[in-house]
């Protein structure tokens, strides 16, 4: 996409509310999955006038969403350019939702600082900043004085390179899901939980109804947005959805005085502080080596973090959470319809928190208008065929 045209689209999507169309088709749509993605898709569909039933196996946000670090970003792993652009639209979508929902969403837009000690990582960081800067992202290298101004309570340790990405933010994923579910209900979404999908009634290659622990639900369209369970349910419809997962462990403190106004990615400790004062820290976002969520590991993670954030030395560990990240085989999203089951709409991805607003809007467009959104074309399930 031409850069100028993309920026025009970005501005329009950020500023324009998702308006209800008077002639929106009254399709009966069943959404499986009450995480951030399912809640966003259900909300955007209902705002367009669709009849939506949202089914959640346990409770909203109980899966990967609730155990996410929930960092809103389009930074350095978001490549190639088309994937970066999609994540940038996701960030803009969260700004739009804040306005659309009259400030009910609490999002911290303080940006993110990332830094490294002397070593090979510093050259890579400089190259990544240069690349994203050329793409128009508000990111830059910072020196020690600006670092101290942006993170006044943080001790960097030996630091050779640091970056600040001003467009980024963080949210409490459970809070965000609850806000979207509540807004969906106000627009007519029927929300049922605990309600587990137990089977699909398939005829002539189409899903006719969804069987659940709370009964049978006819469906003109079935939206599959239930994380790792999507692979199991997809097989019921004759689709092989190539998903894998990695564990992500987070330590959560009890509420504390304000220590952080921004996301801080220190060497070996990633930290944020939620609006209620809880500090959340994780070791990394790549393939984790352990799924240990013991109290002992939680205390070890806090000790790693308090090397950079001394205020944590008095912190009380409240809980340790383990989440299983949803990773398509090639690590890029899988979104949209597939010819093998034309009324099943799939949404499975790792960057679900960042992408939820824009995927919700694009999914509503594709489901209700019969359109094929060009920005989603690289992310169809058919690419694995």
* For the chain, domain boundaries: 7-102+173-242+329-384, 108-168+247-324
**Is the peptide bond prior to 210 cis by the omega test (within 30 degrees of 0)?**
no
Please list the pLDDT of the chain residue by residue as tens digits (385 residues): 444 444 445 554 555 555 454 445 578 999 999 999 999 999 999 999 999 999 999 999 999 999 999 999 999 999 999 999 999 999 999 999 999 999 999 999 999 999 999 998 999 999 999 999 999 999 999 999 999 999 999 999 999 999 999 999 999 999 999 999 999 999 999 999 999 999 999 999 999 999 999 999 999 999 999 999 999 999 999 999 999 999 999 999 999 999 999 999 999 999 999 999 999 999 865 444 578 899 999 999 999 999 999 999 999 999 999 999 999 999 999 999 999 999 999 999 999 999 999 999 999 999 999 999 999 999 999 999 8
What pLDDT does residue 139 have? 98
What six digits make up the tokens of 214?
Answer: 């709370």
**Is the peptide bond prior to 121 cis by the omega test (within 30 degrees of 0)?**
no
DSSP state of 19: P
What CATH number was assigned to the domain covering residues 108-168+247-324?
Answer: 3.30.9.10
Q: Are strands 221-224 and 341-348 parallel, antiparallel or unpaired?
A: parallel
Q: What is this structure's pTM? A: 0.93
Sign of the alpha-carbon torsion through 56, 57, 59, 63: negative
Q: Is 141 exposed, middle or buried (0-12, 13-18, 19+ CB in 10 A)?
A: middle
What pLDDT does residue 12 have? 47
CATH architecture under which domain 7-102+173-242+329-384 falls: 3-Layer(bba) Sandwich (3.50)
Beta bridge partners of 322: 249
The contacts of residue 249 (CB under 8 Å, 6+ apart) are 282, 283, 288, 290, 291, 292, 293, 297, 301, 320, 321, 322, 323
Q: Is 82 exposed, middle or buried (0-12, 13-18, 19+ CB in 10 A)?
A: middle
CA-nearest of 358, 282, 338 to 36 is 358
CA distance 140 to 101: 32
Contacts 24+ apart (CB under 8 A), 269-275: 269/301, 269/304, 269/305, 269/307, 269/308, 270/69, 270/71, 271/305, 271/308, 271/309, 272/69, 272/71, 272/108, 272/170, 274/170, 274/172, 275/106, 275/108, 275/172
What pLDDT does residue 23 have? 47
Strand ranges (DSSP E) for the chain? Answer: 28-32, 51-55, 71-72, 107-108, 112-116, 139-141, 161-165, 169-171, 190-192, 197-203, 206-212, 215-218, 221-224, 243-253, 263-266, 269-273, 279-282, 317-328, 334-338, 341-348
């Amino acid at each position: 996409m031409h850069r100028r045209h993309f920026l025009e689209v970005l501005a329009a999507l950020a500023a324009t509310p998702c308006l209800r169309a008077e002639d929106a088709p009254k399709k009966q749509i069943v959404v499986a999955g009450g995480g951030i993605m399912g809640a966003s898709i259900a909300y955007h569909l209902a705002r367009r006038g669709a009849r939506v039933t949202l089914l959640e196996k346990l409770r909203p946000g109980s899966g990967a969403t609730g155990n996410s670090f929930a960092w809103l970003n389009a930074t350095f792993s978001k490549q190639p350019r088309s994937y970066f652009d999609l994540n940038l639209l996701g960030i803009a979508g969260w700004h739009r939702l804040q306005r659309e929902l009259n400030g009910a969403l609490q999002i911290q837009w303080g940006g993110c600082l990332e830094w490294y000690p002397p070593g090979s990582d510093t050259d890579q960081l400089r190259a990544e900043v240069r690349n994203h800067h050329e793409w128009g992202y508000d990111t830059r290298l910072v020196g020690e004085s600006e670092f101290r101004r942006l993170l006044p309570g943080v001790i960097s340790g030996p630091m050779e390179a640091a970056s600040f990405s001003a467009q980024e933010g963080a949210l409490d994923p459970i809070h965000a899901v609850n806000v979207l579910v509540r807004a969906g209900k106000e627009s007519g979404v029927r929300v049922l939980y605990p309600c587990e999908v137990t089977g699909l009634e398939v005829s002539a290659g189409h899903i006719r109804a969804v069987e659940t622990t709370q009964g049978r639900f006819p469906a003109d369209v079935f939206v599959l947005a239930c994380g790792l369970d999507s692979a199991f349910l997809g097989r019921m419809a004759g689709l092989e959805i190539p998903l894998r997962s990695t564990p992500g462990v987070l330590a959560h403190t009890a509420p504390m005085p304000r220590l952080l106004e921004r996301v801080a990615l220190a060497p070996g400790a990633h930290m944020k502080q939620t609006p209620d004062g809880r500090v959340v820290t994780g070791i990394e976002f790549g393939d984790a080596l352990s799924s240990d969520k013991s109290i002992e590991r939680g205390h070890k993670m806090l000790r790693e973090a308090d090397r950079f954030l001394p205020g944590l030395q008095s912190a009380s560990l409240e809980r340790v959470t383990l989440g299983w990240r949803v990773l398509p085989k090639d690590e890029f999203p899988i979104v949209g319809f597939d010819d093998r089951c034309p009324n099943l709409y799939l949404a499975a991805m790792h960057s679900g928190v960042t992408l939820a607003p824009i995927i919700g809007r694009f999914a509503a467009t594709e489901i209700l208008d019969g359109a094929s959104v060009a920005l989603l074309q690289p992310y169809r399930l058919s690419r694995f065929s």
